[in-house]
Structure 1
Amino acid sequence: MTSPRPGGAAALLAVAALLVSTVGDEVAMVALALRGADRTGLTSVVSAQMLAGLVPGIALGGLIGRIVDRFRPDAVLGAVLALECLIAATAAAIADGAVLLVVTMLFLGALGAVAQTCVMALVPGLFPAAEAQLRVNGLIESARNAGYVIGPLLVGLLTAHGGTGLALAVDAGTFAFALSAVPVISRWLAAAAREGARTAGAADASAAGTDEAAPEEQRTGGGLRAGLALLWTGAQRRITLATIVITVAATSVVNVLLPFFADEIPGGTAAYGTLLATWSVGLVLGPFAVRGPLGRRPTAVVAVGAAAVVGLGYLVTGVYPVVPLMLAAFLCGGMANAVQNVTLRTHVMAGCPKEVRGRVGAAYGATLQSSVAVGFACAGLVPAGWARWGILAGGGVAFLAGSFGWLRARAAADAPAAARDVPAPARRASEGAP
């Protein structure tokens, strides 16, 4: 980086653009779902729309990774935002039938998955230092989660005054605004690359993440399979990711069952809505926790520990369905959820060779989305009347898996460096053993 000031400005600009584009993603999803319900009156259409937004990140993970690795991620991000703007504007005018609504969501889901992979690849390119990546990932997480809160509220306001057509037109504008930030980010990315080329030597290439070469077959071939192989390399990496996969699947079961549990808690659906809002507040506030002593701990340890706290929050909700206690549990759970996302993303991408960042990022996204899908599918097997037991089981599994993973991660982080089973490209001193 040529100076700390441009890097900070790049981070703020990227965060602002991400906030606006995340708002756009949420506006598109909610507005299209509302239009699907209004124009077709079929729950199957809305369900198909939701699946269409989720599936591309899993099914196209290999292709997405190869695209981001083959071309400059900032250029790919610019093209994606332009296409999202065009699709949203077109949808506002012509997307009325069931087929068009599902296809629109399918395209937006695919483009959103590409955009997320680009952002994951851009952060280590702009900020080679691991500590800086952690801070920037925290800002990005807060911005993304704020977008998840603002988006649905904006849809409600726009739809009330101009229908879903107005909401989708504004949605196109959000993507256009985010697109305007790409040229500036590109200039700072080029400056960072020049500075890294001048200062990085062979001895510290793995720490800088700019010159470390991946094996030839991983740099030039493969798609999702190559990304998964890199993602899951190393004993501690496998322990960390396996823990997160289990906890994400378990808590996804809880997310499906919570609406059925609403009738059993004081306040009913009103209390349920308040709980969701409280979790969202935690998601926005949580990333700021990594700026304190928590941010100086190994990211693998923090990630799995946060996963245990998420499970504990749901477990408390099932055991003691008292509103004040549930609100506290949801606030802490939301904060832990955000901390988990920030530290895990940094853990995965810090020191990742630039030649494979796209495939690793795509494999990371596909892994988490697959875990969510498994959780959703398992929840469908639980009778509605057993919602509380399902929440207790999901929260308990997540808490136990996270606690076990935390103990293993602590032991690995405290072990002598020579005993750590960590691939060289992923090792960095500030984390101990990622």
Structure 2
Amino acid sequence: MTLTVSTIGDEISLITLMFRAAENETRFAVPMLLIAQLLPGLIAAPFIGRFVDRRDAGRILVVTGLAQAALLAWIAGNTAMLPTLVGASVLSICFAISGTATFALIPVLATALGMPLSRANSVLELVRGVGMLAGPVAGGILIAWIGARSALLIDAASYVLLATVILASGLRRPIAPDEQEPRTLLAEYWPILRNRRITVMTGSLALEVFASAIADVAFVFLITVTLKQGPLAFGLVTACWAAGMILGALAAGARPMRRPAPLAFVAATMIGVTMLVIGSAALVGAATIMLIGMVFVFGGVANSVHNVAVRTMLQNETPTDHHGKVAAIYGAVTSSAVIIGYVTGGLFTPSNAVGAYLIAGTLGTAAGLAGWGLFSRFAR
């Protein structure tokens, strides 16, 4: 419950910062904010993975939560663009640390609760889906009702609550003392990088996320330019994807995933197919808001199943003392693909959103099919 509140708070803060950037007179304020929210965490990812594997991830999550609360309170009191960008950059690193620590704690939590690992991951995905569905609505209401500063302070309070609950729960991830000589980053990551199954899975993930990011950029123009609809239609269709993610998280946790890898590649293929269907329908003039909404529900289900299956496979494939590093690879691959996808998607907008969806769908489908072919070969 506490994690759900914190996740909703994250969505509130993201929307608040986006509105603040959009109201700024600087032309590139919004792109600079998006980069600030991704790039620092991406650069720090290899060091964060090593750090989490050498420390108690539970304590790291507590300290990081308090740091995020302090940062959000500071950003709330400094409305200028420069402090906002600096705060967003530091938050990016904090998000990377907390995400890596959470990834490493999920197997510990699953063992403590006596549940399958895939079910624990599905609970995390369910929380994320609820946050995506409720957060934007709550953010819009709070900004209009009490202002951006108070909305950010509410998110800060949610982090204090999260840190308090984790500290009180006694959730810990004991780490055995490392008696080996200090090693380089490459030497520490090499056992993971040389695992071909992990390499194929993360490569497929990168292509899938890259394709989805292209479609994400084109989505607003698909609704407003191609279909000539307004903000209400945009919000409703976005909610359809989040609702699908909630359904997918519930489905993914219904049974233990004995073979998560095949599910990951099937789900990746389905995400690609949803983008192809939308692009094809828009190309022939058959796309409607209702059709896209129904396809988005299907895509959201596939998105959740894909996320749960990928995380479960990576956690199963690596020893416990490497979970921080594999989480760092997972986060870095995802962030890199998003950044490149956003830039690529911008080449198609605003007038060719249909082309963006067709290319994204083709790449997404290929990510699932080609990934499974390579994975099967190395599995044998």
What is the TM-score when the length of structure 2 is the normalising length? Answer: 0.90
Task: Give the partner amino acid of 1:112.
Answer: F
Looking at structure 2, the residues matched to 335 and 402 of structure 1 have their Cα atoms a distance apart, in angstroms, of 15
Select the residue among 234, 247, 259 that pairs with 2:195. 234
Question: Cα deviation per residue 1:124-167 (whole Å; 9 max; x = unaligned)?
Answer: 23335996211001001110221122222222222222211111
Answer yes or no: is 1:120 the counterpart of 2:81.
no
Aligned length: 373
Instruction: Specify the alignment match of 1:386 in structure 2.
Output: 352
Does structure 1 conserve the Cα–Cα contact (< 8 Å) formed by 2:348 and 2:355? Answer: no
8 A Cα contact 2:52 2:324, kept in partner? yes
Residue type of the partner of 1:368?
T
1:340 corresponds to: 306
| Equivalences for residues 136-285 of structure 1 within 5 A | 136-185=120-169, 187-189=170-172, 220-223=182-185, 225=186, 229-262=190-223, 263-265=225-227, 267=229, 269-285=231-247
When residues 313 and 216 of structure 1 are mapped into structure 2, their CA distance, relative to the original with a 3 A threshold, is farther
Matches within 5 A, 1:325-336: 325-336=291-302
Amino acid in the other structure paired with 1:116? G
What is the identity, as a one-letter code, of the residue corresponding to 1:90? Answer: W
Structure 2 residue aligned with 1:365: 331
Q: 1:272 to 1:90 in 2, by over 3 A?
A: closer
Asked whether the equivalents of residues 54 and 369 of structure 1 are also in contact (C-alpha less than 8 Å), the reply is yes
CA distance in 2: counterparts of 1:160 and 1:349, whole angstroms: 42
Q: Find the aligned partners of 1:381 and 1:229 in 2 and give their Cα distance.
A: 36
Hey, what's the Cα distance between the residues in 1 that align with 2:242 and 2:376? 29
Residue identity opposite 2:132 in structure 1: Y
Which residue in 2 is equivalent to 1:310?
Answer: 271
Conservation of the 8 A alpha-carbon contact between 2:218 and 2:349: no
* Farther off after superposition, 267-276 or 283-292: 267-276
Quick one: which amino acid aligns to residue 216 of structure 2? Answer: N
Tell me how far 1:279 sits from its aligned partner.
Answer: 0.5
- Any conservation in 1 of the 2:129–2:242 contact (CA below 8 Å)? yes
* Aligned equivalent of 1:109: 92
The counterpart of 1:399, out of the listed 354, 365, 368, is 365
Read off the aligned partner of 2:333 and give its amino acid letter.
T
Give the conservation status (yes or no) of the 8 Å contact 2:119–2:254: no
Kindly state the Cα deviation for residue 313 of structure 1 after the two structures are TM-superposed: 0.6
- In 1: Cα distance, 2:190 partner to 2:242 partner: 33
RMSD (Å), alpha carbons: 2.6
Corresponding residue for residue 35 of structure 1: 20
Q: Is the Cα contact below 8 Å between 2:69 and 2:157 reproduced in 1?
A: yes
Identity %: 28
DSSP 3-state at the match of 2:150:
helix
Deviation of 1:268 after TM superposition, in Å, equals 5.2
For the Cα contact (< 8 Å) 1:232–1:241, is it kept in 2? no
1:226 deviates by 5.2
Shift of 1:309: 0.4
Any conservation in 2 of the 1:266–1:323 contact (CA below 8 Å)?
no
| Partners of 1:179 and 1:215 in 2: CA distance | 31
Q: CA deviation digits over 1:86-133, x for unaligned, max 9? A: 11122222x121110101111111111110000001112333599621
Change in CA separation of 1:383 and 1:21 when aligned onto 2, cut-off 3 Å = closer
> Hey, what does 1:12 align to over in structure 2?
none
Per the TM alignment, residue 412 of structure 1 is displaced from its structure 2 partner at its CA by: 5.9
Q: Where does structure 2 lack aligned partners over 5 or more consecutive residues? A: 282-286
SS in 2 for 1:350: helix
2:334 equivalent to 1:374: no
Partner of residue 26, structure 1: 11
> Alignment partner for residue 50 of structure 2, among 66, 77, 96?
66
User: Are the aligned partners of 2:76 and 2:152 in contact in 1 as well (CA < 8 Å)?
Assistant: yes
**Native 8 Å contact 1:126 1:189 kept in 2:** no
| Matched residue, 2:284 | none
Query: 1:20 and 1:177, CA in 2 relative to 1: closer, same or farther beyond 3 A?
Result: same
The alpha-carbon deviation at position 182 of structure 1 amounts to: 1.4
TM-fit CA distance, 1:232: 3.5
- What residue identity is the alignment partner of 2:150? L
Cα 1:268/1:399, change in 2 over 3 Å: farther
Please say if residues 222 and 353 of structure 2, whose CA atoms lie closer than 8 Å, have aligned partners that are also in contact. yes
1:274/1:230 Cα in 2 relative to 1: closer, same or farther (>3 Å)? farther
Shift of 1:388: 0.5
- Provide the C-alpha distance between the structure 2 equivalents of 1:363 and 1:85, rounded to a whole number of angstroms: 26
1:41 Cα shift?
2.8
